[in-house]
Chain A
């Protein structure tokens, strides 16, 4: 599997896929996409990188342990739901705000952070499984 072409192309392909996964994640609210799908795309990206360059390379690239990423995602989702308590509305009620950024109006919401949390959980959990499975290959 580790042909020269594949190994050369893999990092670019993975980066593009990661970028695309973030794009899919963020547009999810209005167009097809969202945390689950984005997360799965990102996992595929890591899987490709892992097949091409081996697990250690992926772990270096991810920097954090994938399970820690997953845990952080869950925490983020829960916290974004908890924010609603500050405004005395039920748990997980979406709160929206608009900020002006570089001359554009950007809508920010707790729902978005919730979706990012979902994304991170999917990425972290499934990547860690895939990596653990691939790792044995190398031994």
Chain B
């Protein structure tokens, strides 16, 4: 609803509308914050009402620890983002539209995480994809934004279809079509034979949405969007929808060999690829984008790891990531806004000019780097505690996590520290601190990251524990605190930090090395996407060329062959051929009329001239009309007369317009084919009619019409009463079709007339 009001408000209040619009998400935030205590106690809130009762579709919601934390993140960060975009797009002519889109997205995302019924989940899932498409393509005058928007839509849209199929399979396997019933169903899904299908399909949905390798390419491209969008959709919320889905299904689908192999594998690869590609970038936003890909990989890996501690780690990291990544994106946008560049090489020494931004960036970077006292540190400790183990699998996972985290540490400081220290760089614009609207968001988020770390028991009680319980499917209490404990996790953390510092210091060299590596590989999924789209276009062009040859005679032949086959084949196959009819006595005049029809047909076949053929066809038509008249169907015969007359007139007109040769020259083979097809059609219809008359005739309807025509509809002409009264709606539809067909034909004639005229004038030119 706020989305509707946004454009109007913005027109009146200019960028200050942000203050008013931010009230909407804030209200949602407070509303859900009010539920915190209930949910923390281990309860869940649900409700709903019937939507399409006959299909069992309910509009229902379900709030437990998982959805509540998501809802709070979405509305809380949403509030800050709306304020931030108020400053970021200040003076932009389409700011109102932007607000509208972003609030639309927020609504969809809230719906997604709160949805209980599968259908709602899917609908809101698709809505977030659409909102994301609109927001990425917000700057629709640029080719790159349009491409990125389309790419994101195609990838996430495909994933959405996979999700729909997956949800249907789940519903088939368990009979549940609401999350709450599914979660209560226990082992039903895991033991179902459809488990693998549901698993693959749901992963398809989750992996595309959460940009897992090899679908990660759309996310960095989506950085074409304005920065508030990148911060909100493409780091803090929307891309986490896939993770949400996995977490949601963890209690009923997790704990199987497939789940615990595929998820950590894809997650781990994504983590490595993401961080390595991030190091290569020199654009602040792109660096962050790739670390987002990496973080999502980490989350997927943890979700799939199976142990309780891993779930706790995933939960902690998810919350921490939303806060520090959102903040860092906003910092990057702020730097871009104030200095005019996002290139890390030309940014340095901004600390004096932008002290508040510096504070926010540094705090966020510390959290992302996982240093003590910050919420990110808790997450990292928990991650290492979860992964540490002695078997191969755990060691590999730990290694991946250490490398990934170290590189992310480096990136965090490259974004949050590097632009601010050192001598002043050669940025295009002279930097100064941004307005309140711009720095409020990142600062609040960054401070939240610190506060959540400092008051961790409180945060655990309210967020982490309920959420982890919901993901694990059983009560779990998160207990980690910011005071470092000696042990393996801490050692790994220290190692990470050391490696990270090394990577930070050597980032220029690393960047060059990675760049050359990527160049040698040369091909990536991004290019693959383009190639497959091109291949699709080429394929459809080829298919169109075959199916739509543009030659009327081929279309007609195909249609008639299909008609003949569809009648004859079932008749022969099911032995439903009609019995030979008994020959009754004909009246003389009936025979005469039939003879006239036959003569007319003969004339058609032997006519040398097209016009003669058309007129002869008319003879046959009139003979049939006469037969109708004789057999007692005056209405039908009347109509037949008029239709015949008009079709002769119109056909004659068309034929003369077409400028065809007066007589026809078809090769013998073509003639034989045409004769066969027409004979088959005639035979098929003849047999069908015979069969129909031989079946017992159900005269319920005709008796009803006979009795009621006069009584209900006040008419003696049953045919007409049926047309205008009993079947009035059909007639209304028919006349609408008549009119539309008329319009279409008219348009066709006009187009052809123009083309024809041009062709003729060209021919005359050539002749001259």
| Residue from the list B638, B750, B753 in contact with A37, Cβ < 8 A | B638
| Residue from the list B643, B654, B746 in contact with A40, Cβ < 8 A | B643
B743 touches A67 (CB 8 A): yes
Per-residue 0/1 for B688-716: is the Cβ within 8 Å of any A Cβ (1 yes, 0 no)?
Answer: 00000000000000000000000001111
Per-residue 0/1 for A25-66: is the Cβ within 8 Å of any B Cβ (1 yes, 0 no)?
Answer: 000111111111100110110010001000000000000000
B653 touches A137 (CB 8 A): yes
Known: A77-B735, A133-B657. A67 touches B646 (CB 8 A): no
Query: Which B residues from 250 to 294 make CB contacts under 8 A with A?
Result: none
Cβ of B634 to closest chain A Cβ, rounded Å: 4
In this complex, how many residues of chain B approach chain A with their Cβ under 8 Å: the count is: 42
**Which of B239-247, B429-437, B724-732 has 4 or more CB atoms under 8 Å from chain A?**
B724-732
Q: Is B721 an interface residue (CB 8 A)?
A: yes
B729 touches A74 (CB 8 A): no
A78 touches B724 (CB 8 A): no
Q: Give the contact-size bracket for chain A.
A: 35 or more
Q: Is B605 an interface residue (CB 8 A)?
A: no
B720 touches A81 (CB 8 A): no
Contacting residues, chain A, for B634 (C-beta < 8 A): 32
Query: Which B residues from 211 to 227 make CB contacts under 8 A with A?
Result: none
Q: Which of A35, A71, A124, A129 has the most CB of B within 10 A?
A: A129
A121 touches B743 (CB 8 A): no
Q: Is B742 an interface residue (CB 8 A)?
A: yes
Smallest CB gap from B727: residue in A: A92
Q: Which of B720, B724, B725, B746 has the most CB of A within 10 A?
A: B724
Contacting residues, chain B, for A44 (C-beta < 8 A): 642, 645-646, 649
Known: A34-B723, A36-B723, A77-B735. A47 touches B728 (CB 8 A): no
B638 touches A122 (CB 8 A): no
| Residue from the list A32, A47, A129, A139 in contact with B742, Cβ < 8 A | A129
Smallest CB gap from B656: residue in A: A137
Query: Which A residues from 101 to 139 make CB contacts under 8 A with B?
Result: 107, 109, 111, 114-115, 117-118, 121-122, 124-126, 128-130, 132-134, 136-137, 139
| Residue from the list B717, B741, B742, B750 in contact with A33, Cβ < 8 A | B717
Contacting residues, chain B, for A122 (C-beta < 8 A): 735, 738
Contacting residues, chain B, for A14 (C-beta < 8 A): none
Docked pose: A33 CA to B634 CA in angstroms: 9
Q: Is B639 an interface residue (CB 8 A)?
A: yes
Q: Is B518 an interface residue (CB 8 A)?
A: no
A125 touches B728 (CB 8 A): no
Docked pose: A32 CA to B749 CA in angstroms: 34
Contacting residues, chain A, for B653 (C-beta < 8 A): 130, 133-134, 137
Cβ of B610 to closest chain A Cβ, rounded Å: 15
A32 touches B638 (CB 8 A): yes
Contacting residues, chain B, for A94 (C-beta < 8 A): 713-714, 725, 728
Q: Is A91 an interface residue (CB 8 A)?
A: yes
Docked pose: A4 CA to B654 CA in angstroms: 25
Docked pose: A107 CA to B723 CA in angstroms: 19
Smallest CB gap from B635: residue in A: A32
Per-residue 0/1 for B102-135: is the Cβ within 8 Å of any A Cβ (1 yes, 0 no)?
Answer: 0000000000000000000000000000000000
Contacting residues, chain B, for A81 (C-beta < 8 A): 728-729, 732
B638 touches A33 (CB 8 A): yes
Docked pose: A124 CA to B740 CA in angstroms: 11
Q: Is B459 an interface residue (CB 8 A)?
A: no
Contacting residues, chain A, for B729 (C-beta < 8 A): 81, 91-92
Q: Is B736 an interface residue (CB 8 A)?
A: yes
A34 touches B720 (CB 8 A): yes
Q: Is A87 an interface residue (CB 8 A)?
A: no
Q: Is B558 an interface residue (CB 8 A)?
A: no
Known: A36-B639, A40-B639. A29 touches B749 (CB 8 A): no
A77 touches B714 (CB 8 A): no
Docked pose: A130 CA to B729 CA in angstroms: 27
Contacting residues, chain A, for B725 (C-beta < 8 A): 92, 94, 111
Docked pose: A24 CA to B635 CA in angstroms: 11
Docked pose: A139 CA to B757 CA in angstroms: 10
Contacting residues, chain B, for A40 (C-beta < 8 A): 639, 642-643, 645-646
Query: Which B residues from 731 to 761 make CB contacts under 8 A with A?
Result: 731-732, 735-736, 738-739, 741-743, 745-746, 749-750, 753, 757
Docked pose: A35 CA to B719 CA in angstroms: 12
Query: Which B residues from 629 to 660 make CB contacts under 8 A with A?
Result: 634-635, 638-639, 642-643, 645-646, 649-650, 653-654, 656-657
A28 touches B717 (CB 8 A): yes
Known: A29-B714, A96-B714, A111-B713. A126 touches B646 (CB 8 A): yes
Contacting residues, chain B, for A92 (C-beta < 8 A): 725, 728-729, 732
Docked pose: A81 CA to B653 CA in angstroms: 37
Known: A41-B642, A129-B746. A115 touches B735 (CB 8 A): no
Contacting residues, chain B, for A67 (C-beta < 8 A): 739, 742-743, 746
Smallest CB gap from A113: residue in B: B724
Contacting residues, chain A, for B743 (C-beta < 8 A): 67, 125
Docked pose: A128 CA to B728 CA in angstroms: 25
Contacting residues, chain B, for A37 (C-beta < 8 A): 635, 638-639, 642
Known: A29-B715, A111-B713. A125 touches B650 (CB 8 A): no
Cβ of A124 to closest chain B Cβ, rounded Å: 7
Contacting residues, chain B, for A70 (C-beta < 8 A): 738-739, 742
Docked pose: A34 CA to B731 CA in angstroms: 12
Smallest CB gap from A66: residue in B: B742
A114 touches B724 (CB 8 A): yes
Smallest CB gap from A27: residue in B: B717
Cβ of B725 to closest chain A Cβ, rounded Å: 5
A115 touches B724 (CB 8 A): yes
Q: Which residues of A contact B (CB under 8 A)?
A: 24, 28-37, 40-41, 43-44, 47, 51, 67, 70-71, 73-74, 77-78, 81, 91-92, 94, 96, 107, 109, 111, 114-115, 117-118, 121-122, 124-126, 128-130, 132-134, 136-137, 139
- 6 contacting pairs across A/B (C-beta < 8 A): A30-B717, A111-B724, A114-B732, A124-B742, A125-B741, A125-B743
Known: A70-B738, A121-B739, A125-B742. 9 other contacts (CB 8 A): A33-B635, A33-B720, A37-B642, A43-B642, A51-B649, A107-B714, A124-B742, A128-B742, A129-B745
Considering the complex of A and B, which 5 residue pairs feature the smallest CB-CB distances, nearest first?
Answer: A125-B742, A40-B642, A92-B728, A32-B634, A29-B715
